[in-house]
Amino acid sequence: MKKVIVSGMRTTGKLHLGHYLGVIKNWVKLQDDYDCYFFAADWHALTTKYDDTNELRQNTIDVITDWLACGIDPEKSVIYVQSLVPEVAELNVYLGMITPQNWVERDPTLKDMAKILKTKEGQGSQVNYGLMGYPVLMSADIMMMNADLVPVGSDQVAHIEITRDITRRFNNLYGEFFHEAQPLLNECALICGLDGNKMGKSFKNDIKISDTEEETAKKIMTAITDRSRLRKDDLGHPDECEVAFKYWQIFGSDEEIARVKEECEKGLRGCAQCKRELGAKINSILAPIRERRRYYEQNPQLVEEIIRTGSQKARQRAGEVLDKVKDLVKIYK
């Protein structure tokens, strides 16, 4: 029996290289060794974007199209949409009943989300009951498939701690059933944004999987380099290069990295030329992914079918788990 993996992403728009390198690439590798369930967390998107839902549906499609482009394979993994598995909402009710209020109030990731929200204007700045339930709903996602492992970025670990607490409490109250899911972090280097800060859509410093080659090349030209270097034949300091050399270290081969470092240090490579080459390098690595993305974009009915089939499969397992939960809780059936 293979171990079960669950992971999801909030559907807040097209994905960028931070998602790809930090999470999806890892998922692609895990597909062969585990029973994988990957879902688009559209309810979780609603916890903060409830005031503007015009793009909610398209965002779900975009996220799943990005996954398919990156190599998440519907033949190997179950790909589904959270809101198409209503069993998750039902499990969320049972878990909510046994989760002390202070467990969710303590969640540091949630506190950060609330803080960001409060800086917004108007209605959308409110922290609602649904947002407070974020870690409980996330626990329902994970426990719905009785998962063993949850491959996520380190920012999600605090939430998963709560999932483990809720799991233990459920098992204590109603009988041992749920596995205690463990976060699975990957070793990959975190990619910073073009300005050197954390890559994020809201910071406008990201490179999207779906960007064209021209857009990518243009964005790379804005990447911060060695701020002390004014003329192209000044000697460079790769270690102080804030973005471009870091990208080389992620995308380049060992020989390329060594060559870039040497030429920079000897003043043989200007920053503009360096970034032109870097843009071409990144584009060549992304080429097969973008080609697959275009294929799915041009065949939207295929994506739709993958979503429907995957969600049916997810409901199958969810139904079995929920049935067991109802027995354990001794609710009317």
Residue 6 is a binding residue for ligand TRP (CB under 6 A):
yes
CB of 299 to ligand TRP, least distance (A): 27
Q: Applying CB under 6 A, which of residues 60, 77, 99, 156 lies at the interface with ligand TRP?
A: 156
- Structure-token match 């960001």, residue found: 116
Confirm or reject binding of residue 8 to ligand TRP (CB under 6 A): yes
What minimum distance in Å lies between the beta carbon of 240 and ligand TRP?
32
- Interaction with ligand TRP in 10-39: which residues (CB under 6 A)? 10
Nearer to ligand TRP, 157 or 280 (CB): 157
Smallest gap from Cβ 255 to ligand TRP, in A, equals 36
The CA distance from 281 to 25, in Å, is 18
Q: Are 104 and 132 in contact (CB under 8 A)?
A: yes
Q: What does the per-residue mask of binding to ligand TRP show for 132-151, with x meaning CB under 6 A?
A: ------x--xx-------x-
- By CB under 6 A, name the one of 4, 9, 79, 224 that touches ligand TRP: 9
Is residue 44 close enough to count as binding ligand TRP by CB under 6 A? yes
What are phi and psi for residue 184, nearest 5 degrees? -120, 105
CA distance linking residue 129 with residue 146, whole number of Å: 25
Q: Does 183 bind ligand TRP (CB under 6 A)?
A: no
Least distance in angstroms from the C-beta of 274 to ligand TRP: 33
Tell the smallest beta-carbon distance from residue 112 to ligand TRP (Å): 11
Q: Which is nearer to ligand TRP, 8 or 236 (CB)?
A: 8
C-alpha to C-alpha distance for 219 and 297, rounded to whole angstroms: 23
Q: Percent helix, strand, coil in the chain (nearest 5)?
A: 60, 10, 30
Exposure on the CB side of residue 63, measured as CA atoms within 13 A: 26
At residue 48, φ and ψ (nearest 5 deg) are -120, -20
**Helical segments of 73-210, H only:** 87-97, 101-106, 108-118, 129-132, 134-144, 157-174
Whether 128 and 51 have beta carbons less than 8 Å apart is answered as no
110 binds ligand TRP per the rule CB under 6 A: no
Which positions ≥6 away from 128 have C-beta within 8 Å?
47, 50
Shorter beta-carbon distance to ligand TRP: residue 16 or 44? 44
* Residue 188 neighbours by CB under 8 Å, 6+ apart: 21, 22, 25, 26
Cβ closest to ligand TRP, residue 7 vs residue 205 = 7
Question: Among residues 64 and 274, whose Cβ is nearest to ligand TRP?
Answer: 64
Candidate residues 41, 223, 244, 325; the one interacting with ligand TRP per rule CB under 6 A: 41
Binding site for ligand TRP (CB under 6 A): 6-10, 41, 44, 138, 141-142, 150, 152, 156
